[in-house]
């Protein structure tokens, strides 16, 4: 496999993970970035590369930096993406997610002590 194909696959996979993490289907995502579903499917599989204008729209819609798409995910971007997903939740679901996260973090604190 040549380098370009490998890079396309890695970038496509990162986009797919971010899209799924945002709770978006390919149909919803393609509409939001102004592309066809077949195009989204193709770049998520790495069969085609992503243009710079498309990358800009993708990053804006998913609330992630281009570094998170082009390179290994940076933890700050993961946190920002999670915050964006939490903001989209209805208040009742947000409260539940917040409670779960607080308990999880508290549990991690007990493990590391």
Which tens digit of pLDDT belongs to each residue from 53-68?
A: 999 999 999 988 888 8
Architecture of domain 3-112: Orthogonal Bundle (1.10)
Average pLDDT over residues 6-29: 93
Q: How far apart are CA 44 and CA 14, in angstroms?
A: 8
**Mean pLDDT over all residues of the chain?**
88
Distances, alpha carbon 17 to alpha carbons 11, 26, 32, 56, 104, in Å: 10, 11, 16, 17, 22
């Amino acid at each position: 496999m040549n380098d370009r194909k490998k890079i396309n696959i890695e970038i496509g996979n990162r986009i797919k993970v971010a899209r799924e993490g945002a709770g978006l289907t390919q149909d919803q995502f393609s509409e939001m970035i102004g592309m066809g579903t077949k195009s989204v499917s193709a770049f998520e599989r790495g069969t085609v590369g992503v243009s710079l204008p498309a990358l800009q729209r993708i990053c804006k819609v998913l609330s992630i930096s281009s570094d998170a798409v082009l390179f290994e995910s940076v933890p700050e971007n993961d946190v920002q993406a999670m915050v964006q997903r939490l903001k989209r939740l209805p208040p009742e679901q947000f409260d539940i997610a917040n409670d779960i996260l607080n308990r999880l973090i508290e549990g991690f604190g007990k493990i590391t002590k």
